[in-house]
Structure 1
Amino acid sequence: MLLTKFTHACIRLEQDGRVLVLDPGIFSESATALAGAGAVLITHEHADHYDGPALVAALADSPALTVYAPAGVARDLRVQAPDAAARILDAAAGDTFSVAGFAVRCFGGQHAVIHPTIPVVANVGYLIDDDVYHPGDSLIVPDGVAVGTLLVPVHAPWSKVSEVVDFVVSVRAPHAYQIHDGLLNEQGLAFTESHIARIGGLHGVKFRHLHSGQSVEV
């Protein structure tokens, strides 16, 4: 499976001509990421993960495109794209389904707390083909599975480095790559990733930085 990293939290997976995209947001190159996609998975409603206009355009351009998202996001998207409503489906923790030839399992349920005064929204983490895990904006460790490739939210208003490192160590995937890195400059990103790589490496995790547009086989 080919994994391509786009800016911030967007990931594109390709295998045997099939394409699945996760979290094309307003910081990402959504049009490029969504080109030829058969399915899109959205973890939660925040704009850095959910670019509504880009998805509406993609749904209009591709009659085969299917979107899964938490109920509130799916409802909002069905309002924006009523002609494609049958292809916009709810996803929740505990769900399993197949879409565009990929097997998907859902974990978590809610976004990490940003501040007690800010309402918590739904957040679904997705495990693809029992290998690639995208947690969205949470540090939920998926239970009962052995993750092969972990996508690590390296920085957010809701996290700190120790929590991110503990997440990586707890999941213990053999391979890990950064996501949610759009709010850091080069110095901050290098500093944060050095801790993840060093401590994760002690527990068998090989962490690697991917530049936007860079691909890797997983």
Structure 2
Amino acid sequence: MQITRFGHAAVLVESSGRRILVDPGVFSSPAVFELDHLDAVVVTHQHPDHLDRDRVGALVAANPEALLLADPMSAGELGGPWQAHTDGDRHEVGDLVLRGAGRQHAEILPSLPIVDNVGLVVTAPGEPTFFHPGDSYATTPEDVDVLALPLGAPWAKVSETVEFLQRIAPRVAFPVHDCTISALAYDIYWNHVVNHGGVDDVRRLDQTAGTEVLLAGEDA
């Protein structure tokens, strides 16, 4: 499995010969909207940092065969060919299974409406299991090997981030949702994850970095 970040919450997952893109938003690098040969594009929720409405159309046009999945609210707004993706839904893309995980965005303020948020679990025989939760710590799928960990957000605090990481207990974790953290303050958040999260392999990928994840016993 190859993981590549494209800024903030946007992640490209390449596994079993398939390419799955998650959350191309307004904070994503421009390169994410130039990707082609995608097998699926998945949007966890409607907020602009996860869905750039102005640029997603060109991405879809460049990938006409891609499966397009989004939370129900976003799918309803975007219209066909986007399909609503709900908690527990399964879609097969080659050997990959894409499963919805979760229902609602974490609360930001009591006065703000809570929108749909459906995270993504990616599995395949012989491959690590990947989880991108979108904007929520509420759902904890079992047997996650690779976690895209939201590091900083208006809806989160560090103790919740660390507790979520401990509950998921992945083999590998890397940060997402971190454009909201300044470079000067980044170590404050990251060091708490490293020192208290209980995960040995935490990888501080920058906004456009990639990493290869192998199952135990495999050779690089």
**TM-score, reference length from structure 1:** 0.89
SS of match in other structure, 2:117: strand
Counterpart selection for 1:215 from 189, 210, 214: 210
More helix by share: 1
CA distance in 2, matches of 1:99, 1:209: 29
1:21 deviation in Å?
0.3
CA distance in 1, matches of 2:54, 2:39: 17
Residue pair 1:108, 1:125 contacting (<8 A) in 2 also: yes
Residue pair 2:6, 2:32 contacting (<8 A) in 1 also: no
Cα displacement string for residues 178-199 of structure 1 (whole angstroms, at most 9, x for unaligned residues): 0000011112111100000111
- What root-mean-square deviation, in Å, do the aligned CA atoms of Structure 1 and Structure 2 show? 1.6
Residue pair 1:40, 1:66 contacting (<8 A) in 2 also: yes
Residue pair 1:21, 1:33 contacting (<8 A) in 2 also: no
Counterpart selection for 2:111 from 113, 117, 121: 117
CA distance in 2, matches of 1:34, 1:98: 24
Structure 1 residue runs without a partner (length 5+)? 79-84
Matched, 1:187 2:184: yes
Partner of 1:169: 166
Partner of 1:29: 29
Partner of 1:54: 55
CA distance in 2, matches of 1:171, 1:113: 20
CA distance in 1, matches of 2:190, 2:13: 23
Residue-pair matches, total: 208
CA distance in 1, matches of 2:210, 2:204: 11
Over 3 Å counting, the alpha-carbon distance change for 1:73 and 1:101 in structure 2 is: farther
Identity %: 33
Over 3 Å counting, the alpha-carbon distance change for 1:104 and 1:135 in structure 2 is: same
Counterpart selection for 1:132 from 130, 133, 136: 130
**TM-score, reference length from structure 2:** 0.89
SS of match in other structure, 1:117: coil
Residue pair 1:104, 1:127 contacting (<8 A) in 2 also: yes
CA distance in 2, matches of 1:142, 1:155: 18
CA distance in 1, matches of 2:194, 2:34: 30
